[in-house]
């Protein structure tokens, strides 16, 4: 069901926008959930764009429950490289395994002033919203 006439629901256009997106848009697409402790500490903010030097835990896939520090965010391929997550190639060389950002949970943030501002801005936007308010708004749009 389509809610907004200004947004296309075409699969073709959605894929073109996703795979043809620029680096700034990919940064936002490559967001990961914050751990429960970080959510509580930062006023209910649920996710953040991932960056190098964040500490993460893998929540899905073959490497589930492994922890490590982000060594690279490979926006071109939509993957994140994490320390100690490698595989061996046929010739014996080791290569980092790309993990999708959606399969990660951030356990420790690398803080700087821009990130602090983003957290404050997101927390301010969530202030005063409870689960019942959010459900009420979404149910009013159903008509």
Any idea which residue has 């009420």 for tokens? Answer: 136
Taking the CA of residue 15 as centre, how many other CA atoms within 13 Å lie in the half-sphere pointing to its CB? Answer: 3
Integer CA distances (angstroms), 80 to 110, 127, 128, in order: 15, 31, 34
pLDDT at 63 over 90: yes
Tokens of 13: 């256009």
pLDDT interval class at 134 (50, 70, 90)? low
User: For residue 104, is pLDDT > 70?
Assistant: yes
Evaluate whether 48 touches 34 at the Cβ level (below 8 Å).
Answer: yes
What is the predicted pLDDT for the residue at 127?
Answer: 80
pTM for this predicted structure: 0.83
| pLDDT at res. 126 | 83
């Amino acid at each position: 069901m389509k809610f907004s006439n200004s947004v296309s629901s075409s699969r073709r256009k959605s894929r073109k926008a996703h795979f043809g997106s620029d680096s700034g848009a990919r940064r936002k697409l490559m967001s990961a959930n914050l751990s429960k402790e970080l959510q509580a500490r930062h006023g209910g903010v649920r996710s953040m764009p991932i960056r190098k030097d964040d500490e993460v835990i893998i929540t899905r896939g073959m490497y589930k429950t492994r922890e490590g520090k982000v060594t690279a965010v490979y926006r071109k391929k939509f993957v994140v490289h994490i320390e100690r997550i490698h595989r061996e190639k046929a010739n014996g060389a080791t290569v980092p395994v790309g993990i999708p950002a959606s399969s990660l949970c951030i356990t420790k943030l690398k803080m700087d002033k821009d990130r602090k501002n983003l957290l404050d801005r997101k927390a301010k936007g969530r202030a005063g919203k409870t689960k019942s308010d959010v459900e009420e708004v979404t149910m009013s749009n159903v008509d």
